[in-house]
Chains A and B, each alone.
Chain A
C-alpha cells in the first residue's frame, strides 16, 4: 500500500517538484564522492596494464559512459511507455529530460572510444561493431531530441517522442546484431575491446565506482531537468506562482 500511495503522490507535479528538490543535493553529493573515488582509483591507484600501457585507463570513462548510453535509452523508453499507456505525466517529463543526458553519454563514449583507438588501432576511427552501434544510438538520441524540439505543443511532443523511443527500443537489438554481423564479415578480426575473460579487482573496483557515480550523475541531472520541465509545464498553476524562487519581484 505504501509504495502505491507514494507513486500516486509522486504523480502530482507539485509533490514531485519538492521531493526532487530535496533529493538533488544528496544525489549530487554522492555522485561527486563516487566519481572522485573512481577517478583516483582508476587514474592513480590502479596498476598499469601490461599490454596496453597507460592508455587503457580511458576505460574508466569510456565503459561507464557506454553503459549509461544504453541504460538511459531503456529508462527513456520505459518512461515513455508509462506515459503513453497510463498517461503518467511525470513519466513523459522524465523521458524527455533523459534524452539530452543520454546523448551526451553516447557522445562521450564515442569520443573516448576514438581516443582509445588511436594508440591501439593506429586510427581515430575504426568501423568497430560497438563504436558503430554507439554512433547509430547517438543518431537515435538526436532524432528524439529533434522531434521534441520540432513539435510546438510539448504535451503532444512528449507522446510522439515516447512512440519514437519505443520503436527505437525494438530496433536497437536488431541494429546491434546486424552491425556485429556486418563487422565480422567485412573487417579482419580486431583486438576485442574490454571483454577480456577477467579484469583484475584493482581495476574492477574503480570501474564500478565510476559506473555508480555516473548513475548518480544521471539521477541528479535528470531530476534537475525534470524540475525545470515541470515548472515550465505548470507555469500557469497557483502553486508555481507561490514558489519563492519564481515569485515576481
Chain B
C-alpha cells in the first residue's frame, strides 16, 4: 500500500469517494432539488413579469448555485472524519494536498456537475435567451469547482465542530463573492448579446488560483482540525 504511486492513490481515493456517494444516492439529489426549488421560488416572490424575471435571472441562478454548493459542502469530510479515515490520509506518505484535491474533485463530480446539467432548464424557466444558456453553463463549469475548492478550506476548518454548519456559511460565503460577481455578470452580458471573454477569463483565472492554493490551505486546516 505504501509503495503505490501518487497517481494511483489519487485514482483510488477518487473511485472510493464516488462509490461511497453512489451508495447514498438519495442524498445526492438534495442539493440539486434545493437549487431548482430556490430558483423557482424567485418568480413567485417577484411576480411573473418576464422582463423582471429576465433581469434578475442570472443573479438568482448563481445565488441559488452558491447556496446549493454551500449546503452540500458539509458532507465533504464529515464521514471520513467520523470514522477516522481522515487521520489515515494524514498519515499516508503522499502529500495531503493532492489527496485533498482528489476528494474535492469527487465531491464536485457528485454535487457540482448535476447543477451544471440542470442549469439550462432553470435558464429557460427564468426567461434567459437561448444564446445565454451556453455561457451560463460555461460559468458554472468554471465557477462551481472554485466553490468546491474554497469551500473545502471552510469545511476543513469546521469539520471538528459539532455545529459547524452556520459557521461554515459565515466563513465561506464572503469568499464566494468574486465568483458570483463575474459569473452572474457574464450571463447578464451574454443575454444582451455582448461578448463575455473578460468575465470568462477572470473566472478561469480564479479557478487556476483556487486549484493551486486551496488544497494547500485545506491540507493545513485539516492538520489543525485533527490535532
Contact A147 B158 (CB under 8 A): yes
Cross-interface CB contact of A182 among B161, B181, B206, cutoff 8 Å: B181
Contact B171 A174 (CB under 8 A): no
- B-contacting 9-mer, from A23-31, A61-69, A156-164, A234-242: A156-164
Cross-interface CB contact of A136 among B177, B217, B220, cutoff 8 Å: B177
- On chain A, the residues within 8 Å of B87 by CB distance are none
Contact B167 A146 (CB under 8 A): yes
Query: Interface residue tally of chain B, by bracket?
Result: 20 to 34
| Interface residues of chain B: helix, strand, loop or mixed (majority) | helix
Please measure, in the bound complex, the distance between the C-alpha atom of A84 and the C-alpha atom of B219, giving whole angstroms: 13
- On chain A, the residues within 8 Å of B217 by CB distance are 163, 166-167
Contact B174 A139 (CB under 8 A): yes
Q: How many A-B residue contacts, CB cutoff 8 Å? A: 72
| B153 on the A face (CB < 8 A) | yes
Residues of A bordering B, CB below 8 Å: 84, 136, 139-140, 142-143, 146-147, 150-151, 156, 159-160, 163-164, 166-168, 170-171, 174-175, 178-179, 181-182, 185
Contact A147 B182 (CB under 8 A): no
Interface residues in B179-204 by Cβ distance below 8 A to A read 181-182, 185, 202
Cross-interface CB contact of B182 among A140, A142, A178, cutoff 8 Å: A178
A78 to chain B, nearest CB (A): 17
Other contacts beyond A147-B158, A181-B182: 11, CB < 8 A: A140-B174, A147-B171, A150-B158, A156-B224, A156-B227, A174-B178, A174-B209, A175-B174, A178-B177, A178-B202, A181-B181
Contact B167 A150 (CB under 8 A): yes
Contact A179 B181 (CB under 8 A): yes
Contact A160 B177 (CB under 8 A): no
A173 to chain B, nearest CB (A): 10
Please measure, in the bound complex, the distance between the C-alpha atom of A124 and the C-alpha atom of B177, giving whole angstroms: 23
| B33 on the A face (CB < 8 A) | no
- In the complex, 5 of the A-B residue pairs with CB atoms within 8 angstroms, ordered by the A residue number, are A147-B158, A150-B164, A160-B225, A163-B153, A167-B217
Please measure, in the bound complex, the distance between the C-alpha atom of A55 and the C-alpha atom of B166, giving whole angstroms: 39
Given contacts A156-B227, A163-B153, A179 and B177 within 8 Å (CB-CB): yes
| B163 on the A face (CB < 8 A) | yes
Contact B185 A163 (CB under 8 A): no
Please measure, in the bound complex, the distance between the C-alpha atom of A146 and the C-alpha atom of B178, giving whole angstroms: 22
B189 to chain A, nearest CB (A): 9
| B221 on the A face (CB < 8 A) | yes
Cross-interface CB contact of B221 among A142, A143, A163, A185, cutoff 8 Å: A163
| B118 on the A face (CB < 8 A) | no
Nearest chain-A residue to B160 (Cβ)? A151
Q: 5 nearest interchain CB pairs?
A: A178-B178, A139-B174, A143-B171, A182-B181, A143-B170
Contact A174 B170 (CB under 8 A): no
Nearest chain-A residue to B173 (Cβ)? A139
